[in-house]
Structure 1
Amino acid sequence: MRLFAKTLHLTIVLFVLCTACGAFQASAAGQHAPRELTSWQIQWGSPGEDTGQEVPLGETQGWIEADARQGTPELPKGISSAWTRITLPESQYTSPAVYIKTLYALHVKVYAGERLIFEDSRSYIHDNYSMLIPLSTEDLGKTLYIWTATLQDRIGIKDRVIVGEHSDLLKDYSKNGLADIVLGGAFLFVALVLFVCTFYLSKEYFSIATALSLVIASTGVLSITYSPFTYTFFSYLGPVSVVFFDLALLSLLPALTFLFEKIFGSGKFAIIRRFRKFQVAYSLFCIACLILNILSGNRLVEFYYFVSATIVGFIMILQFILLIACVILFSLRGNKDAITFALGFGTAALTGAVELAWYYYRKGNYDLIYWKWALVVFILSLIIILGRRLALNHQQVVKYSRELELFNNELQRSEKMEIISELAASVAHEVRNPLQVTRGFLQLLSEKSSGDEQKYLFMALSELDRASNIITDFLTFAKPEFEKISLLSVLEECKHIESIMLPLCHLNGGKMVLEVTGDLWVKGNSSKFKQAFINMIKNSIESLGEDGSIHIKAYAKGDKVFIHIKDNGAGMDPGVLSRLGEPYFSSNKTKGTGLGLMVTFRIIEAMGGEVRFMSSKGAGTESITILPLAEAPEGSGS
């Protein structure tokens, strides 16, 4: 019990101490928390050259009030410099500093009273400064004077000024624009990986993937070179960053249009292709102006800024409107790629168009912020489209491979058929003649013989007849054309075949059902027609077991006649089923020659039809014969 009481007492003491420390820390933090300054005063410089050497300490006239919520005031015509004065608050900071997140200028001087505490100058067109200026404790309560000069249409502090401890402000200062660097680096990595993968794609997708890689890489370069982080911590790379920014922008626009053209086509009147050619020509013109400006030592900087920023901005807005209109048309037609593209590009284009419009409405007094994140959505949509195209291409390759395999099997079958045809045509007639002569002499001898001798002669005659039937099959296969073609009534032919095969079916313990729907007619030879179906029905009869049945069904569908022969016999496995009709292949019979179904196939093919088989082991077999439907003869009662 005492141990419990001591533990409770110690817990209460620790709780009170922690609460007191927390309150003390909060109080300390409240005393030294950063302070935001949202208002200051501005005085425009003289129209002549103003170097910012003389600080306007005692001047009270000419100062105008400025507010962070209203942005920088509009720069008067003919004026390129300005003074800004900010009254620093008195506070107990041990290491004070002032943090200005965004300041528009090309030349900057900062004075604490008359003392110069910061100075920087840029020879390239990027007027976005981010500054963290250390102060001394004596500077608190004084007036901070900031001299700025520019060649553009905006100048001065964009948003609030923060005064606080240097260590606290350093965190925000170092993170300003860092996310843009990370995002740009990710874009460049993805573009590099995609570009390497393009060499493993087909020619059709190589140009699409290359254009997509260029779009992603250009976006990454734009994100890095537009970030204030680059110009704040790597100011010596400023001139190179500006050049790369312009090159990336001039590459992105035609690459994006080219990618759109490759995915969706040139559009009506080839407007997409023509616009892309215009963009390529104008980009080359801007690059030529860039080179001339560099060679002239930035003497043409204002003209180059006009052609590469102002005019390109309007071209971007026109491009966004054009592509959005085309995407809407394609989406209305049900194009899935267009719908995906519309979601991604619509987000990016709408964001970019709104930001550009706002940029020009504010006369340049605005930094483009959201376009980078909108482009992430757009690039994801492009990757989805490319992935979907590759997936569809893979499915087509698989489909074509299967069709090629089927075609190859059919080709091999045709080659085998051709070999048998040539063999039958060259041998059958030569073999049949001596067989007939031999049979005649044997028949004469059998009439004059008796006993076992006559029995043996009858057996020889039977085997000769069997050989003759095989040769007849050969001749039928070699020349399946019919000597006499006529209109055949499927009902009458099937009844005749049923009357022929019904005794054999009963002999094997089976039954046969005939069902013919409608008045069906086909063109062909009656004897060949019967031969083909007798072969198939005979195979079904031989596969029957106990309580076997054969169902023959015929009907018309469209311009075709379908004849089904279905049995409940032993059936066949897929390996046997795929080889049906091959020369010398017998499915279930040990004494068969394998020519019966081969002849059947040739007869049906000669009639312009086809035969299909469906079977599974132990579940029977069904043959489906498809023949062209012929017009019924006059007076048939059809």
Structure 2
Amino acid sequence: MSLTVKSLHIALVFLLLSITCGTFLVSAQGSYPAGEIRQWQMKWQEGPEDNGRKAPVTETEGWMDVEAQAKMPQMPAGVSSAWTKITLPSYSYVSPAVYIQAIYALHVKVYVEERLIFEGDRSFIKDNYSLLLPLDFQDNGKTIYIWTQTLQDRIGIKEKVVIGEHSMLIKDYIKNGLTDVILGGAFLFVAAVLFVCAFFLNREYFPIATSLSIVIASTGVLSITYSPFTYTFYSYLGAISVVFFDVALLSLLPALTFLFENIFGPGRYGIIRRFRKFQTAYSLFCLICLIINGLSGDRYVEFYFFVSTKIIGIIMILQFILLIGCVIVFSLKRNKDAIIFACGFGTAALTGVLELIWYYFNSGNYDLQYWKWALVVFILSLIVILGRRLAQNHSQVVKYSQELELFNNELQRSEKMEIISELAASVAHEVRNPLQVTRGFLQLLSEKSSGDEQRYLFMALSELDRAASIITDFLTFAKPEFEQVSLLNVNEEFMHIQSILLPLCHLNGGKMILEVEEDLWVKGNSSKFKQALINIIKNSIESLGEEGTIHLLAYSRGDSIHIHIKDNGVGMEPGVLSRLGEPYFSSNKTKGTGLGLMVTFRIIEAMEGEIRFMSKKGAGTESITILPRAEGPDDSNSR
């Protein structure tokens, strides 16, 4: 109880402190809110002696007015530096500061009147500065002079200038570009995990996973090295960051095309493959230019900037247009992967193309910022596609495993059948001859005997006939080929079978319904065909109960004849159903040898057909026999 009271007391104290501190902060912020400076003046460099060593405090001519977030002034030919003059408003901040989110330059000097308060010089091509300039209270109403120098086509302040408390502005200063660094780090982590997982995939998916990891890693490096956060707080890594940015961009483009090619193919006339080869060659060319420029001390920086920025931007636009066109074609073919790819890549490509067009429209005075988030959508779509491929691969493996199990069972069955065939062929002939001799002598003895002796001889003859019947089944199984093959009219065969088995069906309390189409012809031996069907129908008759029905149905479907024999007998369990046709396995008979259905299977196989059973315990059994259809006499059955 005391612990609960103490916890509530501590929570109340923290609540009061937070309310109090929050009130102080709100009051402080509310009393001195940050202000925006939306107008300033610019002046181009007047001569080569102007190197920013002294602020032009006394100069009044040549200044031009500039509005915040308006189109930046176009640099005149031959000009590489400029001065910017900002008049500070009156303020009452305790710790004043000026925050400039984006200013384009490679070399920057900032003066308050004639006092130098900041200087930055970059030896690498990254001209986006983010500045937080602390001020003194005495700087109230003074003028800030900013000298900027560049080798590119843009210069000066891009966004509005904010003045306020240093403790408040530093939050925006730190957060500027921090999200890009976090996003890039997440990309690199995902790419590393995916790359490691790629080694556990099969060869088919290894190139896709590897190229996808390169695309994700390149995107992460681009996000980190393009962020102003990197160059603001880690300026000493600026040169290597620019190199990493270029390498990542030159790796991303061919890897993306290679990934697309692996997912959807080379395209018509191999256009995707050819474009990928061109991209790879051009990326290697740019890498060589990068190495040469680095070894020469940036002597060819302008040429390298042209081939790695201007031309590569045009190539990116062409690549996006090509891939979007291919995605549209594949999507029209209802390819699910193409539809997913279209959603992700369409978002990224459309965003990238629009930003690049806007970049060139503004003569380079625009920082690409939305492409990273569009790439997030695209990468998610690529991961979904890879996941779908892996899921489909897993489904195929499961399917192949099931088929392999079926083939294995069929192989085992075939091996059993082969053993029985060899035994039947080698034993049946040897056994049949002594049985016939024995039967002949017993028949002679029975003619001369009487009474119980004659009855015993008749029983012996009956058992010999039963043994001969089993041996005949063995011979039929061992050699199901037909000595005489002829055209069989299925309707006539069924009429003959019905006349044979109908009395037995009535004797078991059942009835038989026959529905057979006319002009159904198959090739085979009449006696063997009847034997196969009689074996099935006899099993159905023996499974019937009271008021049982056997339905015989035969019809044509395409080039096949379908024969259904369905009863409403006791049915079979799945375990029994799967063993039908095995030697010495009898489904529902205690005295059966299991050879009847085994012989039936062999006869149907010899006729190039197939037979399968469907059954449910207590609901009956249905056999479906499918045989190739034959043309009737005088082509009466031809179509």
TM-score bucket of the superposed structures, by smaller chain: over 0.9
1:235 counterpart letter in structure 2: S
SS in 1 for 2:243: helix
SS in 2 for 1:204: coil
1:164 counterpart letter in structure 2: G
Deviation string, structure 1 residues 374-410 (Cα, Å, up to 9, x no partner): 1111111111111111111222222222222111111
The 8 Å contact of residues 71 and 159 in structure 1, kept in 2 or not, is answered as: no
Residue in structure 1 matched with residue 273 of structure 2 by the alignment: 273
Residue in structure 2 matched with residue 633 of structure 1 by the alignment: 633
Residue in structure 1 matched with residue 264 of structure 2 by the alignment: 264
Residue in structure 2 matched with residue 291 of structure 1 by the alignment: 291
Q: Distance in 2 between matches of 1:231 and 1:151?
A: 18
Residue in structure 2 matched with residue 36 of structure 1 by the alignment: 36
Cα distance change on mapping 1:25 and 1:336 into 2, 3 Å: closer
1:236 counterpart letter in structure 2: Y
Deviation string, structure 1 residues 443-483 (Cα, Å, up to 9, x no partner): 11111122222222111111111111111111111111112
- Which structure 2 residues correspond to residues 117-136 of structure 1 after superposition, within 5 A? 117-136=117-136
Q: Distance in 2 between matches of 1:635 and 1:403?
A: 39
- Whether 1:63 and 2:69 are equivalent positions in the alignment is no
2:458 counterpart letter in structure 1: F
Residue in structure 1 matched with residue 429 of structure 2 by the alignment: 429
Residue in structure 2 matched with residue 341 of structure 1 by the alignment: 341
Q: Distance in 2 between matches of 1:150 and 1:56?
A: 19
Residue in structure 1 matched with residue 14 of structure 2 by the alignment: none
- Which structure 2 residues correspond to residues 204-603 of structure 1 after superposition, within 5 A? 204-603=204-603
Q: Distance in 1 between matches of 2:455 and 2:581?
A: 36
The two structures have a TM-score, normalised by structure 2, of: 0.94
Q: How much is the aligned-residue C-alpha RMSD, in angstroms?
A: 2.0
1:389 counterpart letter in structure 2: R
User: What is the deviation of 1:549?
Assistant: 2.2
Q: Distance in 2 between matches of 1:445 and 1:27?
A: 131
Q: Distance in 1 between matches of 2:622 and 2:292?
A: 82
User: What is the deviation of 1:321?
Assistant: 1.1
Q: Distance in 1 between matches of 2:470 and 2:22?
A: 108
With 435-444 and 546-555 compared, the bigger mean Cα shift is at 546-555
The 8 Å contact of residues 631 and 637 in structure 2, kept in 1 or not, is answered as: no
With 530-539 and 570-579 compared, the bigger mean Cα shift is at 530-539
User: What is the deviation of 1:153?
Assistant: 0.7
Q: Distance in 2 between matches of 1:561 and 1:453?
A: 53
1:475 counterpart letter in structure 2: L
With 604-613 and 24-33 compared, the bigger mean Cα shift is at 24-33
The two structures have a TM-score, normalised by structure 1, of: 0.94
Identical aligned residues as a percent: 76
The 8 Å contact of residues 518 and 556 in structure 1, kept in 2 or not, is answered as: no
Cα distance change on mapping 1:635 and 1:607 into 2, 3 Å: closer
User: What is the deviation of 1:489?
Assistant: 1.9
Deviation string, structure 1 residues 271-298 (Cα, Å, up to 9, x no partner): 1111111111111111111112221222
Q: Distance in 2 between matches of 1:26 and 1:193?
A: 45
Q: Distance in 2 between matches of 1:225 and 1:611?
A: 68
Cα distance change on mapping 1:47 and 1:402 into 2, 3 Å: farther
The 8 Å contact of residues 99 and 163 in structure 2, kept in 1 or not, is answered as: yes
Structure 1 unaligned runs (5+)? 1-18
The 8 Å contact of residues 47 and 80 in structure 1, kept in 2 or not, is answered as: no
Cα distance change on mapping 1:341 and 1:47 into 2, 3 Å: farther
The 8 Å contact of residues 611 and 623 in structure 1, kept in 2 or not, is answered as: yes
Q: Distance in 1 between matches of 2:523 and 2:25?
A: 104
Number of positions where the alignment pairs a residue of Structure 1 with one of Structure 2 = 620
SS in 2 for 1:385: helix
1:548 counterpart letter in structure 2: G
- Whether 1:624 and 2:587 are equivalent positions in the alignment is no
The 8 Å contact of residues 340 and 381 in structure 1, kept in 2 or not, is answered as: yes
User: What is the deviation of 1:518?
Assistant: 2.4
Structure 2 unaligned runs (5+)? 1-18
1:50 counterpart letter in structure 2: D
User: What is the deviation of 1:547?
Assistant: 2.2
Deviation string, structure 1 residues 12-65 (Cα, Å, up to 9, x no partner): xxxxxxx9x999987764542111111111111135253211221111111111
The 8 Å contact of residues 614 and 622 in structure 1, kept in 2 or not, is answered as: yes
User: What is the deviation of 1:634?
Assistant: 4.1
The 8 Å contact of residues 253 and 316 in structure 1, kept in 2 or not, is answered as: yes
Deviation string, structure 1 residues 282-331 (Cα, Å, up to 9, x no partner): 11111111112221222222221111111111111111111111111111
Residue in structure 2 matched with residue 7 of structure 1 by the alignment: none
Q: Distance in 1 between matches of 2:268 and 2:636?
A: 57
SS in 2 for 1:565: strand
SS in 1 for 2:417: helix
With 540-549 and 152-161 compared, the bigger mean Cα shift is at 540-549
User: What is the deviation of 1:553?
Assistant: 1.9
SS in 1 for 2:69: helix
